[in-house]
Amino acid sequence: QSVLTQPPSASGTPGQRVTISCSGSSSNIGSNTVNWYQQLPGTAPKLLIYSNNQRPSGVPDRFSGSKSGTSASLAISGLQSEDEADYYCAAWDDSLNGFWVFGGGTKLTVL
């Protein structure tokens, strides 16, 4: 049971726009920024979005992030076949001594 809640799966056809949600609480998303990671099959995770909506150098602007209250979303526009991957949200949690929490991951399928 992950602290952050994501849908287990999402899908879309090439060119479509898809969104992936991430729900948390006041101790994590509600008080800290959200990061998103992309994990292509058989590879290590890669930073996709940081600080809610910032893209690292090299990440296409088709990827965007947003946050409102205790929820966050990742949007992918102009969906491409190479976007098929697992996507994870993450945030720092201020509970107790503090720790990083991840969502359970969303498997994106490009139909």
Strand, coil or helix: what is 81? Answer: helix
Closest distance to another protein from the beta carbon of 33 (Å): 5
Widest CA span in the chain: 44
Amino acid residing at 97:
N
Q: Please tell me the distance from the alpha carbon of residue 88 to that of residue 106, in angstroms, as a whole number.
A: 7
| Tokens at 92, concatenated | 């720092």
Is residue 109 within the footprint of another protein (CB under 8 A)? Answer: no
Which one of 31, 84, 104, 110 is in contact with another protein (CB under 8 A)?
A: 104
| Structure-token match 């994990």, residue found | 39
Which contiguous run of DSSP H or E holds residue 90? Answer: strand 85-93
Is residue 81 within the footprint of another protein (CB under 8 A)? Answer: no
Based on CB atoms, which residue is closest to another protein, 43 or 68? Answer: 43
The 20-59 site mask, x for binding another protein (CB under 8 A), equals -------------x-x-x-x----xxxx--xx--x-x---
In terms of Cα–Cα distance, which of 108, 88, 100 is closest to 47? 88
Based on CB atoms, which residue is closest to another protein, 83 or 86? Answer: 86
Q: List residues binding another protein (CB under 8 A).
A: 2, 33, 35, 37, 39, 44-47, 50-51, 54, 56, 86, 88, 90, 92, 97-105
